[in-house]
Amino acid sequence: MSTTSATVTPLPRDWGAPVAQRATLRIATAGSVDDGKSTLIGRLLHDTKTVFEDQLAAVVKASRRYGDGETNLALLTDGLRAEREQGITIDVAHRYFATPKRSFIVADTPGHAQYTRNMVTGASTADVAIVLVDARHGVVEQTRRHAFIATLVGVRAIVVAVNKMDLIDWDEAQYLSISKEVAEYIRALPTPVPVIAVPLSALLGDNVVEPSLNTPWYDGPPLLELLEEFDIAPANEVGARVHVQRVIRPQGGEFADFRGYAGVVAGGVLTVGDAVTILPVGIETTVTALHRAGKRVETAESGHAIVVELADKVDVARGDALVATASPTPPSVGEIVEVDVCWMTDQPLGVGSRYWFKHGSRTGRAVVAAVDYRHDLSSLEREPASELLLNDLGRIRLRLSEAIIADRYVDNPQGGRLILIDEATNTTAGAAMVAAHVR
């Protein structure tokens, strides 16, 4: 009998899809410091045989230099000298590996609270988050913080990796307690996602790539099999959007009459002949040609960089958007926006604070009109607040200097995220997710 089904929701799976059609899976590790994130990724790289011999030799040599008694697989991702000396992850490290079934891009994110901004960066493009928990210590504040952030930035599911089970003699009761606590916490979040738990030892490799003989009470698949079978089809079909980055208008020669609009397709598929609406002006026209990598194409999928030709000669500028007229959930246009924000700088955010904002290809100035509340990570209560401090998560309202064309983040993450930039230092001060239709 499975011990996981009583406490967690199974991951959605695409068991019937041909292997060749499974998209690359983007993964982010999360959790508290020393929970074993880098070691887990190192184990995945090692056991899937995607580490070159010279890389492994360098890790063996570095392990001796830094005093490890055995090969430290965490050094496969911890490349900074400070990371290796201190035994911690500071910056986000991206690694690629593949199996016969699927390709993966995995982000090793820091566990320390002071590097929460780096964790947000790594998780913002992930399909799945692996939240590690040290079986000896259980759920701690950073576990909750990272789980909260992972769901907020739009991961499709969370795998709870209860790590270092070998250090508690593979205690089933402790595993069940931890997995239940994390699953219940995630289900109570504003944006809950499916959860599944796996007991493992990243150091020894138990239940990472191969099933472990030390967990006869666990009949679920090992971690890699879960990731290989995960379905990352979009949750919502919103229709194509192209935020115009550049207007291409040659001034002479054989292409003197050419007028194209360059950008990246977001949220759907764009096809020649599609009706599109130009926002914010609201003019409707038709796509007459698409160009990708210097060649004409008939369709362009989400993530493709393209140049669009339109049937009518209309005024389209950088920052405007071409939106499929038939979009089931069209974006909204406005200058007042309500966002969930993860605050990333020492300077508090308060009413009246001014920042630069960047949304898609549009930039401008933003003023904080209101701080609605701060999230209490333990109780999940919405605390009244007058300001947000470093690493706080909360809801605010912004007044922008110019209108943006935005989706709600829950509908379309690519069209629903923006960043706030400190005017004095030009550093990213906050990562924001659009929570309601702009107006």
User: Could you read off the pLDDT tens digit of each residue along the chain, which spans 439 residues?
Assistant: 344 433 454 444 443 344 444 678 988 888 887 777 778 887 888 777 665 445 555 554 554 555 555 555 555 554 433 333 444 444 567 788 888 888 888 887 765 566 667 777 777 788 899 999 999 999 998 888 888 888 888 888 999 999 999 999 999 999 999 999 999 999 998 888 899 999 999 888 899 999 999 999 999 999 999 999 887 665 557 888 999 999 998 877 777 788 999 999 987 889 999 999 999 999 999 999 999 988 999 999 888 999 999 999 888 999 999 999 988 888 899 999 999 998 988 899 999 999 999 998 899 999 999 999 998 887 888 999 999 998 888 999 999 999 999 999 888 888 888 999 999 999 889 999 998 889 8
pLDDT at 394: 93
Q: Is residue 38 located within the same domain as residue 156?
A: yes
CATH label of the domain that carries residue 411 = 2.40.30.10
What total of structural domains would you count in the chain?
A: 3
User: Do 432 and 341 meet the contact criterion of CB atoms below 8 Å apart?
Assistant: yes
pLDDT at 5: 39
Out of 264, 290, 324, a domain closes at: 324
Residue 106 exposed, middle or buried by CB count within 10 Å (0-12, 13-18, 19+): buried
* 91 closest CA partner among 75, 107, 110: 110
Q: Is residue 190 located within the same domain as residue 166?
A: yes
Out of 291, 324, 357, a domain closes at: 324
Query: Is residue 106 assigned to a domain?
Result: yes
Query: Is residue 158 assigned to a domain?
Result: yes
Out of 193, 209, 229, a domain closes at: 229
Q: Is residue 320 located within the same domain as residue 362?
A: no
DSSP-derived 3-state class of residue 207: coil
Kindly list the distances between the CA atom of residue 269 and the CA atoms of 215, 228, 299, in Å, as whole numbers in the listed order: 45, 25, 7
Q: What is the Cα–Cα distance from 409 to 416, expressed in whole angstroms? A: 4
Q: Is residue 318 located within the same domain as residue 336?
A: no
Q: Domain range for residue 161? A: 19-229
Q: Is residue 275 located within the same domain as residue 402?
A: no
Query: Is residue 422 assigned to a domain?
Result: yes
pLDDT at 211: 93
Query: Is residue 168 assigned to a domain?
Result: yes
Q: Is residue 168 located within the same domain as residue 207?
A: yes
Omega into 280 within 30° of 0, i.e. cis? yes
The phi and psi torsions of 125 (rounded to 5 degrees) equal -110, 10
pLDDT at 328: 84
Query: Is residue 8 assigned to a domain?
Result: no
Query: Is residue 65 assigned to a domain?
Result: yes
CA 417-423-427 angle, to 5 degrees, is: 60
Q: Is residue 338 located within the same domain as residue 311?
A: no
Query: Is residue 278 assigned to a domain?
Result: yes
Of the CA atoms within 13 Å of residue 145, those in its CB half-sphere come to 23
What letter does residue 382 receive in the DSSP assignment?
E
* 274 closest CA partner among 288, 259, 257, 260: 288
Cα dihedral: 59, 60, 62, 68 (round 10): 120
Residue 324 exposed, middle or buried by CB count within 10 Å (0-12, 13-18, 19+): buried
Region at 293 (left for phi over 0; alpha for psi -120 to 50; beta for the rest) = left
Q: Is residue 293 located within the same domain as residue 187?
A: no
CATH label of the domain that carries residue 218 = 3.40.50.300
Query: Is residue 6 assigned to a domain?
Result: no
Q: Is residue 94 located within the same domain as residue 206?
A: yes
Q: Is residue 201 located within the same domain as residue 295?
A: no
pLDDT at 17: 44
Q: Is residue 296 located within the same domain as residue 160?
A: no
Q: Is residue 137 located within the same domain as residue 245?
A: no
Q: What is the Cα–Cα distance from 85 to 120, expressed in whole angstroms? A: 24
What is the DSSP code string of 89-134? --S-EEEEEE-SS-EEEEEE---SGGGHHHHHHHHTT-SEEEEEEE
pLDDT at 330: 86
User: E strand or H helix at 81, and its extent?
Assistant: helix 81-86
